[in-house]
Amino acid sequence: MSTISPRSRRARWPWVVLVIVLVLAALVVASEFVARAIVPNTVRSLVISNLDLPADQQLDVEVPGVMLPQLISGTLDEVELSSDEVTIGGITGSAHVRATDVPVAGGALGAAEGTVSIDQDEFGSLLAASQLPITRIALAAPNATVEGEVELFGRRIPVGLTVTPGAEQGDLLLTPVSLMLNGMQMDLDAVSGMIGAVGEQVTKPQRICIADRLPAGIALTGLRIEGTRAVADISADGRISIDPALLETGTCPRS
């Protein structure tokens, strides 16, 4: 009857440990691949459903870092959402959003913020509620120029107003920087004093509420012109993932 010597058993032991380690590593890698296949699709489906987007909406989801430890902890450190073209509140643009501390089993987000980039036409639609006489708009960083006509002394006078867009307390803010009146460069302060109400209308900063174009849980925090596009910074209330009221369209105060 043969026996295995202690020396032989000792020689085999490191190989057994190595095989076990390799099997466990393979299982971890396989689990990570499965998690990466399932989790982004689940997040995508939830976002599309909650925002009432088309089922075939192009929406990329990325979860940076190793996913398994995050799933075990019950919280994804970071989730990035991006789309080349998405329509929310009648406004279409490209979007990129970064959410942090995302509960796997549901709950409020730690934070969520991002950017939305829109073209001249879409930006112009945001100005529909302004007091500016707009028939044409052009974007050229860092400003926007709006053209139209104002009534002055019984005549329709062409006006071109250049403004710097921004944001203030969730509203779109337009700050005038130069004015062309009937083809002539005008001093903003002089025009404001000369032509009364019309001057006030085109030369003073204007705040435009756009809350009625966004879900109630999303707010405008900044806006700038980059090239020929307007880029809006947005932030979301972390409770938007658990409070349906925050997904409803917001409201603007009545004037």
pLDDT by residue for the chain (255 residues), tens only, comes to 455 555 555 555 565 666 565 555 555 555 556 666 778 888 888 889 888 889 999 999 998 888 888 888 888 899 999 999 999 878 899 999 999 999 887 889 999 999 999 999 999 888 887 777 778 899 999 999 988 877 767 778 788 889 999 999 999 999 999 888 777 887 777 666 565 566 666 778 889 999 998 999 999 999 999 999 999 999 999 999 889 999 999 998 875
Cα distance between residue 38 and residue 177, in whole Å: 51
CA distances in angstroms from 191 to 29, 131, 132, 148, 162, listed in the order given:
69, 16, 15, 16, 14
The answer as to whether 65 is a domain residue is no
Q: Is residue 37 part of a domain?
A: no
Domain of residue 223, residue span: 74-255
Three-state secondary structure call for residue 141: coil
Give the helix, strand, coil percentages of the chain, each rounded to 5.
35, 40, 25
pLDDT in tens, 231-250: 999 999 999 988 999 999 99
8 in a structural domain: no
Query: What's the total number of domains in the chain?
Result: 1
The model carries a pTM of 0.79
